[in-house]
Structure 1
Amino acid sequence: MPIFPPERRPTVDLVTLGDVSGTTISTARQTLETTFGIVARRRRGPDPDRVCDPEPSPYTDEELFESAPLLDAIADASEADLAIGLTAAGIRHDGQDRLFGLGEVGGTSAVVSTDCFEESEREFVERVEKQVRKQMGRLLGLETTHGDCVLERAPFLRALDETESTFCVECRGRLTDPETAPAPPLWVVGDSPVLEEGPGSDVEGSNGTGAAGSHATDDGSLELSLRTLPLVPIGFVAMALSPFARGISRLAAWESTLPPETRRILHGGYRIVRFWTFAVLFVVLAFLALYAELALYDRVLGTSPGAAVVWGMIIVAIGLGYYGQLLVRAMVGGVYEGVLGGPQSSGTRRP
């Protein structure tokens, strides 16, 4: 029985990076449909070598692609709620050795590599099935790596073959229990560490304090200090934006009930508007940077710059415009995620 009921399912894209076998694609599709009740749509992404340059493994001479830029490319190529990339190239994470797959816990993109899966067709299919289930579980917020579960850590190919092919009772329960089941707009299990981490949360590395040195008192009130006072106006702004956040959540919940084709049209329109918004922002910031450079040059030296200097200023302005729009995108994304109360596209990346 599929994990998701028909009336509440996220959309999922399968993004192929380079040449991917038909068996890989059909197996991934069938796994998502039988396990989660999701009919995935295929999208073509860029070849891995067009995303980043491969680097040699620290243990062998094999060329491996860093997973972080591949995950970004998968997210950019998708118009669905979640995306799983498929590639025949070898991958790694943070300079480590080869991985079979990687997913952002509670994020929106994951990648599965079939680089070393080729043995018999039966083994190949089983390995793809396990990795697709595992990485989909990561995207849905499951972070546990215990035994007797498809989420069990498998650093070697034989270890992957020995892991369970399905979710354990505990993880499946978290995915199906109405109180914890993934729901829009985050599509993350309700008790995921992605949602629980934060100021004062009881997680590894937490010191029990709130943001910026504030402390929770026994009666639940917040004790203010000189470090926390500047956060008060920010808190009022966040409170003012809370109706906006609830509106987004209601809109996302309504949108999840629409037919997949309609949702893809909405997502596509959103991506087009987002692209042109930041393109215009880049041009405006670059122009303002060039204007500031010219004004500063005239004020300091009292003369007009030569052609070579102007071209240098243009190059600098283009760089400032590019990184300026990246900064604005990061700030907008941070505010959006903060208002909604959880991450939208990032999380702990787990193999």
Structure 2
Amino acid sequence: MPLLEVTGLNLFVRGSQGAVQALRHLSFKLERGRSLGIIGESGSGKSLTVQTLMGLQPENTSATGSILWEGQELIGYTERQWQSMRGNRMAMVFQEPMTALNPVHTIGRQVAEPMLLHKSLDKKTALQAAIGLLERVGIANASARANDYPHQFSGGQRQRITIAMALACEPDLLIADEPTTALDVTVQQQILDLINDVAAERNMALILISHDLGVISQNVDDMLVMYGGQIVESGPTAAIFRHMAHPYTRGLMAARPRLDVPRQPSGKPFDLLTIPGTVPALKDLPRGCTFAGRCSFTQERCFDNQPQRVGIPSFQPQEAEYSSLGVHQARCLRPEAMRPGNTEAWK
């Protein structure tokens, strides 16, 4: 049985002009000890997806579909039931540690707090456990620094502290929402290595959100590509990078800065490739494919017909050992146009 199984998840946001659908028919699963990456532009629904998984979506929303946790339905949970899950069975590392930490409490107290709430430890025992966690995540002289406040630490150290907080109750699922956004490149890799190491040590499931294909390619077993509140491509990470079967995924890859591309005769690099247009507003989503207005492969039928997820023959049987999804799919009316070697667009 998967640790987490999401089926047909929809999220509706109520506003002054009625309700709009922010998440549309999301389905995926995640097993204990496996990792899942979610990638997409700002506004694609990445963060809203994991907020919904933790019952943290905005109050003016309503969710339908199914979120099963070890076979138990989470849709319809009360706030009290969610409180017993959050920070205990599932925990999140946020992208901006300074806003995740309370500036008026010591870090020792903040790391110990989940254990006081969920494990009923006394303060002394919880503080000793917190110091051990701070040592594990690489905070030097942890017993003394447990008495310091967030502003006394660097950005990388603060992110290590939020990881320690997330690990306090040994959760089954760790969610990292763009955990390296505000950090320099060297510290980014240290934080990603730390997250992967602790997830492996404790056999936790991991969801990693990023806008960086390079981060996703090196750190997760499976991946979801999101656009306009939908999953447009999903499957084992190796399979997707072997054959990107959706125009949006291929466009994201083409837009990455590269050092191995030819230069102009003057020696200057060519302009960076971009995906034309902008993400449509939720209230203005087209009737057909949400990506049709920006896609170089579009045909007239793409504007009128909603594409369904179709299987892509790039999945290799030996990859099943490392995959929770077990199949490579793309939501496209023209998957044949994405065959390897096609140079129609996104060169």
- Between structures 1 and 2, the one with greater strand share: 2
Give the TM-score of the pair, scaled to structure 1: 0.26
Give the TM-score of the pair, scaled to structure 2. Answer: 0.26
Structure of higher RCO (CA pairs closer than 8 Å, 6+ residues apart): 2
The structure with more radius of gyration: 1
Question: Of Structure 1 and Structure 2, which has the larger fraction of its residues in helix?
Answer: 1
